[in-house]
Amino acid sequence: MPSPYAGAVVSQPGPLCPECGGREGPLGDCTAVFEAQQLRELEQPTMYAWHAVSVSAYLLQHPSTASDRHRDAQFRILQLYHDRGMDALQGFVRHQRARNNHRSTRGYDVEPLAPYLALPSRPAPTAFDSTIQDLPASDQSFLGDGVDEYARRIDGMIDATIRAWLQG
């Protein structure tokens, strides 16, 4: 049976997001996709492994949704994952968690992020080659075509976020 959305998507493409430039799909605008993804992450430990980088990429593509206080750290976290992979990301997350348990102050320990490029001080890009609208599988679930494909789409969103910010 064809998807009830198939005709609508072809004949009436959704609006473009004013922040990331992604085209609204069957799940709704970027906020709706982000909320759906966050809910699924809570149920799916496999998906939760990408939590820090998927949130960072989303916020860097939608600067109006968050304060700019952590934006530089978020940009560097994406580079850490991009350069060194999932094990390095998990090590970083564990380190931050342990640190926040021991101290009353919240926020990132920025030392592990020092080797990475600072977020360029320029207006946020408004177009990215890959956005949160690209994360759902064709059945609109996130893991519908398997975790490897989900990981590939996350990687694409992260690459696009780093590139757009560096290129301006």
Contact 61, 99 (CB under 8 A): no
Residue 65 or 138: the one with the smaller Cβ distance to Zn ion is: 65
For residue 27, state whether it binds Zn ion (rule: CB under 5 A). Answer: no
For residue 135, state whether it binds Zn ion (rule: CB under 5 A). Answer: no
Q: Of all residues in this chain, which one has the CB nearest to Zn ion in the complex?
A: 17
Among 22, 25, 125, 136, binds Zn ion (CB under 5 A): 22
Written as one string, the DSSP assignment of 102-165 is H-S--S---GGGTTSPPPPSSPPPS--SS-GGG-S-TTSSSSTT-HHHHHHHHHHHHHHHHHHH
* Candidate segments 22-30, 31-39, 72-80, 145-153, binder of Zn ion by CB under 5 A: 22-30
* Rounded least distance, CB 24 to Zn ion, Å: 8
For residue 125, state whether it binds Zn ion (rule: CB under 5 A). Answer: no
Among 27, 30, 49, 113, binds Zn ion (CB under 5 A): 30
Among 20, 52, 60, 78, binds Zn ion (CB under 5 A): 20
SS3 breakdown of the chain: % helix, strand, coil, rounded to 5?
A: 60, 0, 40
Interatomic CA distance for residues 72 and 51, integer angstroms: 17
Footprint (CB under 5 A) of Zn ion, residues 144-163: none
Contact 154, 50 (CB under 8 A): yes
Chain residues in the site for Zn ion (CB under 5 A): 17, 19-20, 22, 30
